[in-house]
């Protein structure tokens, strides 16, 4: 199927071409015609399926045909987190680059002045988190009486985060005659209730179910004593195929320790966890996306929903106890139709979690060993890591000179070979 068959504005198609997309993903093929027809829509789709473009491309097309009046807002997109708002904004800006539409964002954790100004000026599209938006609406900023389109993105997460009352208060202030689109990874009873409350005779598309990353991402396991994990990670990173790497740790301080160690060995690394300020997190993400840093070390919560194109490898530095977290983590690579690799460093105390995962995905993951790596190097004698035993974070490999002996050379990691071209957030994907 070709994007040209979907009825999108030619300028939007040009932007799609620029992004390097050759064909619509299933959710796009199904949702775009419905949205263009003006109907309400429930899209059951996870991030990684191309759902942002699925609602943005037809929304932009529809906004080109209407006209904006000064001070009015025409479309409102609500999303659960600031990171997601920023990501949607980047997508919208890229897809709207040949249109003259105005776009603004509203989210907490940053100064409100520019957001108030934007609301005063009005915008064709506002992308917002519910909390800050409600706060500003409550203070009478922004004219929402001309809203024609409302998108509730990641509605299930917004409910999980307790945003339902805020969403209700926002929606109450919008015109009844509008198009409403709701996207959610799951169709729970709560989501059904929300769709009944906010949508009218919606069509639903459920083909957004992404292929299970546990089946499509190429995965491997390195069994390694806990105290050797940092050294092994460092060795694995000698392979240039690991060009854009997301490393997961269970704890924030574990993330910081790994990042410090990698930085010391000359590998540009950033961290993403909840101890970092909003600005630090956004900077870390944008440096990672832009290629300024090669490794991003993140905790599960901070990495929820992050959408970075072209992640070549996900590394589970700590193995997650919940199989769902594993599937979520490795889903950060191999997004849309791209190729990705997932590497898990599994210490003996985590082998039960590994077995639980293998039962969950009905597969035994291939075990690998890195040539030249000394798996029997002793633990540094007085390291707190070894005293703590099977603690959750790991990441302490001992001070230089006392850690494991470095192996003789690089050695393959089972990486995926050629990676995507870097630079910019919208790159052609790698296809299998």
Residues 305-324 that bind ligand AMP (CB under 6 A): 307, 309
Question: Could you say which DSSP state residue 143 is in?
Answer: B
Geometric angle at alpha carbon 304, from 303 and 308, rounded to 5°: 60
Among 62, 185, 426, 430, binds ligand AMP (CB under 6 A): 426
CA dihedral 410, 415, 421, 426 (to 10 degrees): -130
> Which range, of 24-32, 36-44, 394-402, 408-416, touches ligand AMP by CB under 6 A?
24-32
From the number of C-beta atoms within 10 Å of its C-beta (0-12, 13-18, 19+), residue 319 rates as: buried
Q: Are 392 and 257 contacting, i.e. CB atoms less than 8 angstroms apart?
A: no
Least CB distance to ligand AMP at residue 76 (A): 18
User: Based on CB atoms, which residue is closest to ligand AMP, 1 or 382?
Assistant: 1
Member of 25, 235, 269, 347 binding ligand AMP (CB under 6 A):
25
Residue closer to ligand AMP (CB basis): 52 or 184: 52
DSSP state of 33: H
Does 21 interact with ligand AMP (rule: CB under 6 A)?
yes
What Å distances lie between residue 292 and 94, 181, 421, CA to CA?
Answer: 21, 36, 14
We find the least distance from the C-beta atom of residue 178 to ligand AMP, in angstroms, to be 22
Backbone angles phi, psi at 300, to 5 degrees: -55, -45
Kindly state whether residue 341 participates in binding ligand AMP, applying the rule CB under 6 A: no
35, 40, 51, 269: which one binds ligand AMP (CB under 6 A): 51
Residues within window 352-381 making contact with ligand AMP, judged by CB under 6 A: none
Nearer residue to ligand AMP within complex by CB, 373 or 426: 426
Contact 75, 151 (CB under 8 A): yes
Asked if 189 contacts 335 with a C-beta cutoff of 8 angstroms, the reply is no
Nearest residue (CB) to ligand AMP, 50 versus 403? 50
**Burial tier of 272 (Cβ tally within 10 Å: 0-12, 13-18, 19+):** buried
Q: In the complex, what is the shortest distance from the CB of residue 281 to ligand AMP, in angstroms, rounded to a whole number?
A: 18
Q: Does 337 bind ligand AMP (CB under 6 A)?
A: yes
Among residues 8, 15, 49, 129, the one that binds ligand AMP under rule CB under 6 A: 49
50 contributes a contact to ligand AMP by CB under 6 A: yes
**Residue 310 beta carbon to ligand AMP: minimum distance, rounded to whole angstroms:** 8
Among 26, 48, 122, 394, binds ligand AMP (CB under 6 A): 48
Closest CB 220 distance from ligand AMP, rounded Å:
24
Q: Could you tell me if 81 and 92 are in contact, meaning their C-beta atoms sit under 8 angstroms apart? A: no
What is the smallest separation between the CB atom of 247 and ligand AMP, expressed in angstroms?
20
The rounded distance, in Å, linking the Cα atoms of 57 and 32 is 7
Q: Determine the size of the site formed for ligand AMP (CB under 6 A).
A: 18
Residue 273 engages ligand AMP in binding (rule: CB under 6 A): no
**CA gap 325, 330 in Å, rounded:** 9
Min CB(110)–ligand AMP separation in Å: 23
Residue from the set 13, 31, 53, 106 that interacts with ligand AMP by CB under 6 A: 53
Nearer to ligand AMP, 226 or 429 (CB): 429
Q: Following DSSP, what letter does each residue of 156-188 receive, concatenated? A: HHHHHTT-HHHHHHHHHTS-SSSEEEEEESS--
- Chain mean position to CA 276: 18
Which positions from 278 through 307 interact with ligand AMP, judged by CB under 6 A? 307
Contact 128, 158 (CB under 8 A): no
Distance of CA 216 to the CA centre of its chain: 17
3-state secondary structure of 358: helix
Q: How many residues does the chain have?
A: 432
Which listed residue (89, 257, 332, 335) binds ligand AMP by CB under 6 A? 335
Q: Are residues 182 and 43 in contact, defined by beta-carbon separation less than 8 angstroms? A: yes
- Name the segment binding ligand AMP (CB under 6 A); options: 22-30, 175-183, 237-245, 402-410: 22-30
Minimum Å distance from CB 289 to ligand AMP? 10
Residues that bind ligand AMP (CB under 6 A): 21, 24-25, 28, 47-53, 307, 309, 335-337, 426, 429
């Amino acid at each position: 199927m070709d994007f040209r068959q979907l009825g999108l504005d030619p300028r939007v198609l040009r932007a799609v071409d620029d992004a390097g997309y050759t064909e619509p993903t299933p959710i796009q093929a199904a949702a775009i015609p419905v949205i263009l027809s003006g109907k309400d829509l429930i899209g059951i789709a996870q991030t990684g399926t191309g759902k942002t473009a699925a609602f943005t491309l037809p929304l932009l097309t529809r906004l080109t045909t209407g006209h904006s009046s000064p001070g009015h807002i025409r479309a409102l997109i609500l999303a659960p987190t600031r990171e997601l708002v920023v990501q949607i904004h980047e997508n919208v800006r890229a897809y709207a680059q040949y249109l003259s539409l105005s776009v603004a964002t509203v989210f907490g954790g940053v100064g409100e002045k520019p957001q108030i100004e934007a609301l005063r000026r009005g915008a064709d599209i506002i992308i917002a988190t519910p909390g800050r938006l409600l706060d500003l609406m409550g203070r009478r900023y922004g004219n929402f009486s001309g809203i024609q389109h409302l998108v509730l993105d990641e509605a299930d997460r917004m409910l999980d985060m307790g945003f339902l009352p805020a969403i209700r208060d926002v929606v109450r202030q919008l015109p009844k005659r509008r198009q409403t689109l709701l996207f959610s990874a799951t169709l729970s009873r709560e989501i059904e209730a929300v769709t009944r409350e906010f949508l009218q005779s919606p069509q639903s598309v459920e083909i957004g179910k992404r292929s299970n990353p546990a089946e499509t991402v190429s995965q491997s396991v390195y069994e390694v004593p806990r105290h050797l994990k940092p050294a092994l990670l460092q060795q694995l990173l000698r392979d240039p195929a690991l060009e854009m790497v997301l490393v997961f740790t269970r704890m924030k301080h574990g993330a910081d320790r790994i990042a410090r160690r990698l930085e010391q060995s000359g590998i540009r690394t950033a961290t993403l966890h909840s101890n970092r300020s909003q600005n630090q997190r956004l900077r870390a993400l944008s440096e990672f996306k832009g290629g300024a840093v090669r490794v991003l070390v993140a905790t599960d919560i901070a990495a929820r929903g992050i959408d970075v194109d072209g992640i070549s490898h996900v590394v589970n530095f700590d193995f997650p106890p919940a199989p769902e977290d594993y599937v979520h983590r490795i889903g950060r690579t191999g997004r849309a139709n791209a190729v990705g690799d997932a590497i898990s460093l599994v210490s003996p105390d985590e082998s039960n979690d590994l077995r639980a995962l293998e039962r969950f995905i009905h597969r035994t993951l291939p075990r690998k060993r890195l040539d030249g790596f000394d798996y029997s190097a002793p633990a540094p004698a007085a390291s707190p890591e070894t005293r703590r035993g099977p603690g959750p974070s790991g990441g302490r490999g001992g001070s230089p000179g006392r850690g494991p002996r470095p192996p003789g050379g690089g050695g393959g990691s089972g990486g995926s070979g050629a990676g995507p071209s870097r630079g910019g957030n919208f790159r052609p994907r790698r296809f299998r």
